[in-house]
Amino acid sequence: MVDFSGREAVVTGGTGALGSAVVGRLIAAGARAHVPVFDSRELERFAYRDHEAVTLHEGLDLSKEEDVAQLYEATHKLYASVHIAGGFAMGPIGSTSLEHWNHVMEMNATTCFLCCREALKAIGAREGRIVNVAARPVLVPTAQMAAYSASKAAVAALTQSLSEELSGSGIWVNAIVPSLIDTRANREAMPDADHEAWPTPKEIAETIAFLASPQNAVTRGALVPVYGKS
Where along the chain do its domains lie? Answer: 8-226
Pairing status of strand 223-226 against strand 8-12 = unpaired
Q: Report pLDDT digits (tens) over 28-81.
A: 999 999 999 999 999 999 999 999 999 999 999 999 999 999 999 999 999 999
- pLDDT confidence of residue 189: 85
8-226 CATH choice from 2.60.120.10, 3.40.50.720, 3.40.640.10, 3.40.50.880: 3.40.50.720
Which helix or strand (DSSP H or E) is residue 21 part of? helix 17-28
The yes-or-no verdict on residue 223 having pLDDT over 90 is: yes
- pLDDT confidence of residue 230: 84
Cβ neighbours of 199 (radius 10 Å): 21
- pLDDT confidence of residue 11: 98
Q: Which of 26-30, 187-191, 220-224 has the lowest mean pLDDT?
A: 187-191
Mean pLDDT of the chain: 96
